[in-house]
Amino acid sequence: MEKKKVIIDCDPGIDDSLAIILALKSPELEVRGITIVSGNVHGNKGAENALKILKSINRLDVPVYVGKTEPLKRQLVTAEDTHGEDGLGETQYPTVEETRYRTGAVEFILNAIKKEEISIIALGPLTNIATAMQEDNEVFSKVKEIVFMGGAFKSFGNCSPVAEFNFWVDPDAAKYVLNNAKVPLTMVGLDVTREIVLTPNYIEMLKQFNNQLSKLIVDITRFYVNFHWKQEKTLGCVINDPLAVAYLLDNSLCEGKSYYVDVVIEGQAIGMSMVDEGNFLRKKPNCKVLTETDANRFFYKFFNTLFPEFKEDIEIVLSDKRYSY
Ligand code: BDR
Ligand code: CA
């Protein structure tokens, strides 16, 4: 089986970290590099976090590059309230000394595209991606596809009544990518990611697994779980970003349709993704918008990929209706 070559552009971030782990544990993927953008935390902190996660799964061989640390036109707003002061749920893991992150994420992305067929999984604000396109859209058009977590169609926002965080932090970048990309785009927005709740039952299962990786997940999600309780009385936490990785691996996990999507870049609705379902704007569809997913199937894939040694336990927990929320 030929592996899909991917670059993960992200802002780790708790759910970004889970997405990185899922990608690196997936035998179908070859992760060429992790590029960092400012979002949940400043890019430099995000890069440190990527290294911490890579170290915890023994994959410091994967290079980390920091890219744009400010949105295209606006001032950066980060989300330490959601992800903790350190961006990893206040776990305060020590800085990785063995290897350091590099700079030049945008150059890295463009050079990688010149060499081979690359798919991009984008899990933060689209600043690095928009900048790569602005620098050389000819080269960028060779990208196989971009699957990005961002935006919302019929679901409400998580930063304002209508805006999703990644689009809200850099609406200009999201707008630029949507209107200028010559490559297939898939929007993994809040309509589908809100379904992906790491429930208290799943967290208990991870506690029972009691190994290094399960402990890491329990640790970094604790703060996120508290945030969800305070914010919306959700038990557990919504883990948005890993769904984008899982969808790239298995398109049957989500359903959707292609529409023209644009982004509001000023005013009260700033950061809102406008999906032209009624074709009022008479524009060609530019993005596949995912609207349905099967959370249970996602979690089968997620847990089985991360913990193949617990396949039977996972089957018992995930197939038992009494344990489903
Ligand atoms: C997105 O915003 C961030 O908090 C998460 O990492 C995810 O990428 C969800 O709106
Ligand atoms: Ca993210």
Structure-token match 């785009």, residue found: 185
Which residue type does 269 have?
A
pLDDT beyond 90 at 245? yes
Helices 43-56 and 14-25 pack at an angle, to 10 degrees, of 40
Mean pLDDT throughout 1-17?
A: 96
- Residues 87 and 275: their CA atoms lie apart, in Å, by 31
- Residues 55 and 34: their CA atoms lie apart, in Å, by 13
Mean pLDDT throughout 5-28?
A: 98
The structure tokens listed for 230 are 């305070």
CA of 307 to the centre of ligand 1 (A): 24
Condensed to tens digits (0 to 9), the pLDDT of residues 35-63 reads: 999 999 999 999 999 999 999 999 999 99
Structure-token match 């617990």, residue found: 310
- Residues 45 and 107: their CA atoms lie apart, in Å, by 20
Give residue 311's pLDDT band: very low, low, confident or very high (50, 70, 90): very high
The structure tokens listed for 163 are 């805006």
pLDDT beyond 60 at 324? no
Residue 26 belongs to some domain of the structure? yes
Residue 138 belongs to some domain of the structure? yes
Residue 325 belongs to some domain of the structure? no
The structure tokens listed for 62 are 């994967």
Domain of 228, in residue numbers: 4-317
* DSSP bridge pairs for 249: none
Q: Which residues of the chain form beta strands (DSSP E)?
A: 4-10, 29-36, 64-66, 102-103, 119-122, 145-149, 185-188, 197-198, 237-238, 254-259, 261-263, 273-275, 287-293
Give residue 241's pLDDT band: very low, low, confident or very high (50, 70, 90): very high
Residue 248 belongs to some domain of the structure? yes
Identify the pLDDT of residue 221. 97
Condensed to tens digits (0 to 9), the pLDDT of residues 286-302 reads: 999 999 999 999 999 99
Task: Identify the nearest ligand to the CA of 158 by its number.
Answer: 1
Residue 40 near ligand 1, beta carbon < 6 Å: yes
Q: What are the C-alpha distances in Å from 242 to residues 162, 175, 179, 267, 268?
A: 22, 23, 25, 31, 30
CA of 147 to the centre of ligand 1 (A): 14
Q: Report yes or no: 123 and 13 within 8 Å, Cβ to Cβ.
A: yes
Name the residue of 40, 128, 164 whose CB sits within 8 Å of the most ligand 1 atoms, as the mutation to test its pocket.
40
Task: Give the CATH number of the domain where residue 179 resides.
Answer: 3.90.245.10
pLDDT beyond 80 at 313? yes
Identify the pLDDT of residue 114. 98
CA of 151 to the centre of ligand 2 (A): 12
Residue 158 near ligand 1, beta carbon < 6 Å: yes
What is the atom index within ligand 1 of the atom nearest the CA of 159?
A: 10
Condensed to tens digits (0 to 9), the pLDDT of residues 260-282 reads: 999 999 999 999 999 999 999 99
CA of 125 to the centre of ligand 2 (A): 8
- Residues 182 and 110: their CA atoms lie apart, in Å, by 15
Q: What is the pTM of this model?
A: 0.97
What is the atom index within ligand 1 of the atom nearest the CA of 14?
A: 6
Mean pLDDT throughout 182-193?
A: 98
Whose alpha carbon is nearest atom 2 of ligand 1? 165
Average pLDDT across the chain, whole number: 96
Identify the pLDDT of residue 322. 55
Q: Of the candidates 319, 317, 298, which has an alpha carbon nearest to the alpha carbon of residue 18?
A: 298
Residue 323 belongs to some domain of the structure? no
Nearest 5 degrees, angle CA 58-CA 188-CA 218?
40
Residue 241 belongs to some domain of the structure? yes
Residue 17 near ligand 1, beta carbon < 6 Å: no
Q: Is 65 helix (H, G, I), strand (E, B) or coil?
A: strand
Name the residue of 240, 245, 247 whose CB sits within 8 Å of the most ligand 1 atoms, as the mutation to test its pocket.
240
Residue 121 belongs to some domain of the structure? yes
* DSSP bridge pairs for 10: 36
Whose alpha carbon is nearest atom 10 of ligand 1? 165
Identify the pLDDT of residue 35. 98
Mean pLDDT throughout 184-194?
A: 98
Q: Is 159 helix (H, G, I), strand (E, B) or coil?
A: coil
- Determine how β-strand 119-122 pairs with β-strand 102-103: unpaired
Cis amide bond preceding 87, omega within 30 = no
Considering the candidates 11, 15, 16, 262, report the single residue annotated as catalytic: 11
Identify the pLDDT of residue 153. 98
Identify the pLDDT of residue 1. 82
- Determine how β-strand 261-263 pairs with β-strand 273-275: antiparallel
Residue 87 belongs to some domain of the structure? yes
Identify the pLDDT of residue 22. 98
Identify the pLDDT of residue 175. 98
- Determine how β-strand 261-263 pairs with β-strand 197-198: unpaired
Residue 166 near ligand 1, beta carbon < 6 Å: yes
pLDDT beyond 80 at 323? no
- Residues 47 and 64: their CA atoms lie apart, in Å, by 7
Q: Report yes or no: 139 and 120 within 8 Å, Cβ to Cβ.
A: no
Annotation says 11 is catalytic: yes
Length of the chain: 325
What is the atom index within ligand 1 of the atom nearest the CA of 83?
A: 4
Identify the pLDDT of residue 321. 57
Number of domains observed in the structure of the chain: 1
